[in-house]
Amino acid sequence: MADKKVKKAQQVEEPVEVSIEQKLVALYTLQQVDSKIDEIRAYRGNLPLEIQDLEDEIAGLETRVENFKEEDKKFQTEITNQKIKIKETEALIKKYEDQQNNVRNNREYDSLTKEIEYQNLDIQLSEKKIREATAKSEAVVTKVAQAEERLAERKAVLTEKQAELDSVVEDTEKEEDALLKRSAECEQLVEDRLLVAYKRIRKNARNGLAVVGISRDACGGCFNKIPPQHQLDICTHKKIIVCEYCGRILVDKGIIEQYSE
């Protein structure tokens, strides 16, 4: 009778133990796959971010060049308008001078003289505006040249960085795609609650490790000591144990040795 009770208890406990072990194995396998993906992306380094920064800088420089050119167009228009005005004023002065030759009295002559003086002042003002617009235009042209030089330089760097990234991606793309596919398959074997916890821990861990083993009686993630009773619980696979210091999921040496890739 006692033997039957023992056998019955074992039959009840065995599926629980297998279930927990399978979850731990799935989590540990998922961690290994994700760690390999992390290694590939680390190998690429900061190239994608550098390229994005370069593209943003280039877009900014292109906008700056266009703005400078639009600004210069306004100065050129101002210069053209003032030159036209000067020609019109000179024609008016000539007209007044011709009229002076046919005046009937001094009053008309003086009036035309004042008008000519006024038009000459107007020409001087237009010439001043032309000088100012020309100086501003030259300054803008210098800025355009500097911005275009910088733009050409950054485009050359972008081409170099993009080629470097393409080379790295070509070397690792197939491997990463295979690992991403396997990671997704491994995720299917982990229940939602554990998967959410796993991803949260990975996100907060600097090294991306959410599942770690025990090394010298300590957590393989934060290296704090694991109490003996917890170590025993980890080895028996009766429940999922997390480090009380860092929250990482802990697996025993047996799983690591059997399922390490």
pLDDT by 10-residue block (mean), the chain, 261 residues = 42 48 91 92 86 96 96 96 96 93 89 94 96 96 96 96 90 89 89 91 90 92 91 88 92 87 70
Write phi, then psi, for 225 (nearest 5 degrees). -65, 140
Q: Classify each residue of 52-77 as buried b or exposed e, where b means 16 or more C-beta atoms within 10 Å of its C-beta.
A: eebeebbeebeebbeebeebbeebee
The pLDDT value given to residue 11: 42
The pLDDT value given to residue 1: 46
Q: Which amino acid is at 23?
A: K
Report domain 45-173's class.
mainly alpha
The pLDDT value given to residue 190: 86
Alpha-carbon torsion, ordered 5, 9, 12, 18, to 10 deg: -140
The first and second tokens of residue 35, run together, are 């760690």
The pLDDT value given to residue 75: 96
Strands 218-219 and 214-215: antiparallel
What is the spatial distance between Cα 251 and Cα 172, in angstroms, rounded to a whole number?
30
The pLDDT value given to residue 188: 87
Model pTM greater than 0.75? no
The pLDDT value given to residue 103: 84
CB 137 within 8 A of CB 75: yes
The domain limits of the chain are: 1-43+191-261, 45-173
